[in-house]
Amino acid sequence: MKYRNALQDSTKLPRNASIAFHIAAIITFLVYGLYRLLHDDVFLFMVFLLAILPLSISLLLEIKHLGKVQHKQFTLILVCMAIAISSYYLGYKSLIYVFPTIFIFFFIFNLQHASILSSFYALICLVTALKIESFALVWRFGVATFDCIIFAAIFAYIIAKQKDALIYLATTDELTGALNRKNLAASLSLSIESFRHTGTDSSLLLIDIDHFKTVNDTYGHLAGDKLLTQFSEVIKQLLPAEAKLFRFGGEEFLVQYENCGLEKALDMAHKLKHAVNQTRFDGVPVTVSCSIGVAELRVKDSLEEWLKQSDIALYAAKKSGRNRVVSRLDK
C-alpha cells in the first residue's frame, strides 16, 4: 500500500519564516532600488519595483493568513526576472543576489522542480552578465553558483528524508506498521467532504481478530504481537493504493477505502477474510479468523455516525458467530 511520502509535500514554508524572508527581500530591493534612483538610473529602479510590488502583496497575504505556496512561487519568479534584467546592466553587482534566491527555490518548490528552475535561472543571469563582464569572472561566479545549487539540493533532500521519517514515526503504529489514529479523523473528514462535493464513494471496513484474547492467554503475548504484525501484513498486501489501513485499537483494524461503494467494499471484505483464514500465523497453531463490519458512506453521515455504523456492523458479525462479513444495518 502506498502512503503519502513527505518528499512529495515538502513545499510548506513556516509562516514566520516566510514573513521574515519577505521583509528581508523587500528591504534589500528597496535600498538597492533607491541607490539606483539616486544615480539617475530610473529604469533599474522600475525593474526593482517589479520585485517589490509582488513581494509586498505576497507579504500582506501571508500576514492575513491567506498566503498560498502558488503566490510565493509566482513572486519568486518575478523577483528572479528582476535580478536577471539587472544582471544584464550591472554584471557582478547583481549576480551576488543570485545566491540567496537560489535557496528560496528549495523552500517553495519540490526538489526536482527547484533544481531545474534554479539552474535555469542561474544560467540566464550568468549569460546576461557577459554583456559587461569578462568570461573569466562570469565563469568563477558560475562555478560558485552551481555549487550552491548542488549544496542546496543535497540539504533539501536530507531535510525531506528526515521529515518523511518523522511523519512515519508520528503516524504509524510501531508494532503493526499500519497507520495509527493520529490522522484518522482528518482523513475521514476529507472523504466525507469529497463525497458531498463530487459524489466520490468511500467505505469503511472495521476488522476484528476473532478470539484474540484466547490467543494471548494460550500462546502468550509475544505470539499475540506476532499475530498482529503478520495480520496487518496480510491485509496490506491485498489493499489497493486508494485504501488506507489504520490500527483502530487492540486487535481492531480499520480500512478506509476511497472510490469504493458497498458492493466493492463487501467484495474486498470477503477477500480479506478468506486470506486471513488461509494464512498460517507464526506461533499460533490454529486457524485465525476475523469479523468485518462494512459501512459505505451515505449523504447524511457525520464522521461519528459513519464510524458508529461500521462498529454496529462489526458487532453484528461477531454476534452471528464470528468469521463473518456484515454490512451496515440501518436502511
pLDDT beyond 80 at 118: yes
Radius of gyration of the chain (CA): 28
Mean pLDDT of all residues in 205-220: 95
Query: Per mean pLDDT, which range of 5-19, 149-163, 187-201 is the poorest?
Result: 5-19
Q: Is 305 a catalytic residue?
A: no
Beta bridge partners of residue 73, listed in sequence order: none
Q: Which residues contact 95 (CB under 8 A, 6 or more apart)?
A: 87, 125, 126, 129, 138, 141, 145
Residue 15's pLDDT is 85
Q: What is the pLDDT of residues 64-89, one digit of tens each?
A: 989 888 999 999 999 999 999 999 99
pLDDT beyond 80 at 116: yes
Q: Which residues contact 224 (CB under 8 A, 6 or more apart)?
A: 212, 215, 216
Q: Do 257 and 265 form a contact (C-beta atoms < 8 A)?
A: yes
Domain extents for the chain?
6-171, 184-327
Residue 67's pLDDT is 86
What fold characterizes domain 184-327?
Alpha-Beta Plaits (3.30.70)
Average pLDDT over the chain, rounded to an integer: 92
Residue 88's pLDDT is 95
Residue 12's pLDDT is 61
Point out the catalytic residue in the list 251, 252, 258, 296: 251
Place of cell 512515519: 168
Three-class secondary structure of residue 129 per DSSP: helix
Give the Cβ contact number of residue 132 at 10 Å.
15
Place of cell 490500527: 247
Residue 8's pLDDT is 41
User: 188-194 contacts: CB < 8 A, separation 24 or more?
Assistant: 188/256, 188/303, 188/306, 188/307, 189/303, 191/256, 191/258, 191/297, 192/297, 192/301, 192/302, 192/303, 192/306, 194/258
